[in-house]
Amino acid sequence: MVPSFLSLSFSSLGLLASGLILKLAKAMDNFPGPPTHWLFGHALEIQQTGSLDKVVSWAHQFPYAHPLWFGQYIGFLNIYEPDYAKAVYSYPKAPDVYDFLLQWIGERGLLVLEGPKWLQHRKLLTPGFHYDVLKPYVAMFTESTRIMLDKWEEKAREGKSLDIFCDVGHMVLNTLMKCTFGRGDTGLGHRSGYLAVSDLTLSMQQCLVSFQYHNDFIYWLTPHGCCFLRACQVAHDRTDQVIREQKAVLQDEKVRKKIQNRRHLDFVDILLGAWDEDDIKLSDADLRAEVDTFMFEGHDTTTSGISWLLYCMALYPEHQHRCREEVCKILGDQDSFQWDDLGKMTYLTMCIKESFRLYPPVPQVYRQLSKLVTFVDGWSLPAGSLISMHVPFPWVFDPLRFSTENASKHHPFAFMPFSAGPRNCIGQQFAMSEMKVVTAMCLLHFEFFLDPSRLPIKMPQLVLCSKNGFHLHLKPLGPGSGK
């Protein structure tokens, strides 16, 4: 891989200074209506406002919004009202955020594509997340979780609280490797692979808040940039290797038929066999981008979701107890959960959703307006505006707000853990199925308690994590409490 900075001239250094101005703020325009024409993060003449403080003051006049800064130079109008969110959700994703992903996941993945190309990929990938494909994955979720639980059995004997985050991350990555490539604990399944994925996510978050890293020429020369490139190379090499191997195997017609008739297909196998209505299939670059996107979207978000959910179980023992009773009853005399069991986990599902509501794995969604938008209350924003969305709720853990009788009362854009509209998360059923299996098995094996001296501290970046980990006390449950 050749870093993009090699193709840049040294004039890029001169442009960096002007970039500081271009990133500072969006001046107020002469649009008719209320004084709402504010935006950070686009090229504009700051002298029109007199000062940046004046621009910020306009932002605070929005009834359901406030400024949100990444570092000192990129700002968004952060909206937190469902009708506001509904008005802007269909607009393109903000490149000031999502462009930081491109070195890893490329420009051809479903997350960053727009227009007809996005629609083509969406249609090609959708069969890979059909419930018939997902059913056999329950066994893979179970296998990876058992490995993690065995580790926790040993650690729990020490009588100390343990940070569950890294173990959950390893388990999730191992599961993704099995579902994507048909193999786990090899390559990216080892610690080096886990660190590569973690380094990539951390590096992207560092880029976002460090303005000097917004210039590729500068970034690739820094230790952080070099680390990011190495991690990208590890991920890309692994993906390319598996794609080459699978394509070579599929050249044999007998082997191809055998793979198509087996109990489950790996994500790569599904992509390699995907054709659209015009008999067009994904190129190798498309394949790599979609696999890397699946790894990115499926790893950190699921790790975050499971970690915060287990924290909630420890924080609210009455709900933990009720979930445990439910999954024990569902398991019965079986050795493991089956696909049909997941639909019966109604209370656990409500607890998962409530955990998502309070601790959303993706705390913000970012858009850039392509035209003037006027909200229902008459306030408006001009084309080019950078928007982030987060809809808050009262800090009360109440799973019953997602009961059948209560769910219909909520605004459809008030709860968006998997995004909303036509661009909702294609893998949401995969993620929910994995979280149900993992959490159910955890509750059958352990009782979870807080470590009052090491409570998690929220770190809202691209993915919601904790600055100090997730330290919980685990009490193994005896025979009869679970399988």
Give binding residues for heme as ranges: 425
Q: Give CA–CA dist 301/169, Å, rounded.
A: 10
Rg of the chain on CA atoms, in Å: 24
Long-range interactions of 81-85: CB distance < 8 A, separation 24+? 81/391, 82/391, 82/411, 82/412, 82/413, 82/414, 83/375, 83/376, 83/411, 83/413, 84/375, 84/389, 85/389, 85/391, 85/413, 85/416, 85/420
DSSP state letters, 384-407: T-EEEE-----S---GGGGSHHHH
Under 8 Å between Cβ of 145 and 437: yes
DSSP letter at 454 equals G
Question: 358 near 305, Cβ under 8 Å?
Answer: no
Whole-number Å distance between alpha carbons of 348 and 342: 10
Packing angle, helices 346-358 and 317-331, rounded to 10: 140
DSSP assigned state of 92: P
- First-to-last CA distance in the chain? 48
- Other CB atoms within a 10 A radius of the CB of residue 21 amount to 13
3-state DSSP helix/strand/coil percent for the chain, to nearest 5? Answer: 55, 10, 35
Which positions make up the binding site?
425
Residues 6+ apart with CB under 8 A from 264: 133, 135, 136, 137
CB 271 within 8 A of CB 290: yes
The whole-angstrom separation of Cα 262 and Cα 244 is 21
Q: Is the dihedral of CA 126, 130, 133, 136 positive or negative?
A: positive
Nearest alpha-carbon partner for 447 in 328, 349, 358, 300: 328
Phi and psi at residue 284, in whole multiples of 5°? -60, -40
220 φ, ψ (degrees, to nearest 5):
-65, -15
